[in-house]
Amino acid sequence: MIELVNVKKVFNAGRPSEYSALNGISLNIEENKVTVLTGPSGSGKTTLLSIIGCMSRPTAGRVKMRGREITSLPERFLTDVRRKSFGFIFQQHNLINGITALENVMLPAYPLGERRSALKERATRYLGQLNLQDKASSQIEWLSGGEAQRVGIVRALINNPATIIADEPTAHLDTKLSHRFMEIVENFKAEGRTVLITSHDPLVYKSSTVDRVIKLRDGQIEE
């Protein structure tokens, strides 16, 4: 379970452009469930997601993962937790141009020092599970939007993380692909993973796969 205790995030503190993105968020995200954060743009969804995913630190408050406090961790430990516990799926797929799909998928696993042949085998297998085996050696620039999104999903899974974080995953997908995405999310749940999604796409937050919807407005949870 991921526990947030009074999390605040302020940007540009002390300057005229000071902006409070999160104003004291306290919530518990249950394990092995699909949780969706929804709300208008500027409500703090992405900020909250990046704090939970160990990509940034709050200005105040704490985040605990399975009882272990993660916001105070020194840098080297934080990156270790992030690498092993979270898989990220971005709105813009954020794959690296100039290298193949397979290489993109293997990237997050390099720091863990696994033997390359074993890693390659696993990455190819995961790509096969999403019907991307023919595209493994393709350059990213040649993939369609949906294919790139799926490569991004495989990349998120390569280190077998317990939690998947997805930020507006269906923003650039048509209806058919969006439904496909929600099926993949259902699979995640079946595999025992926790899923956290931000979206203002009704197709996502009204889906039957979703267990809980949290509404954010102006950096706070709306009851």
Partner 1 sequence: MLLLHPGVIANLLASLIIAVMMLYSAFYGVQILRHWDIESGSELQLVLERKTYLVSTVLSYVFALQLLSLFMYVFTADNLHPLFVGAMCAAGTLNLNAFGYPTLLLKMFNFILAGVWLILNHADNQGYDYPLIKKKYALLAVVAPLILIEALLEFAYFLGLRADVITSCCGSLFSSEQGDGLGSDLAALPPGPMIWFFYGTVFVTLASGLYYYLRGKGGYFYSFASMVFFLTSIVSIISFISLYIYELPTHHCPFCIVMSEYDYIGYLLYIALFIAAVAGVGIATLIPLRGIESLREVIPGLTRKLTMTSLVLFFGFASVVTYRIAASNLIM
- List contacts with partner 1 (CB under 8 A): 5-6, 8, 57-62, 69, 71-77
Structure tokens given for 67: 């009882």
Stretch (H or E) spanning 104: helix 101-106
Contact (CB, 8 A) for 123 and 106: yes
Structure tokens given for 86: 């979270």
Question: Sign (positive/negative) of CA torsion 105, 134, 124, 182?
Answer: positive
Closer CB to partner 1, residue 79 or residue 129? 79
Q: Smallest distance, Å, CB 113 to partner 1?
A: 18
Q: Smallest distance, Å, CB 47 to partner 1?
A: 15
Closer CB to partner 1, residue 25 or residue 221? 25
Q: Smallest distance, Å, CB 6 to partner 1?
A: 6
Closer CB to partner 1, residue 14 or residue 202? 14
Q: Smallest distance, Å, CB 21 to partner 1?
A: 14
Closer CB to partner 1, residue 19 or residue 142? 19
Structure tokens given for 23: 């104003």
Question: Sign (positive/negative) of CA torsion 43, 178, 166, 37?
Answer: positive
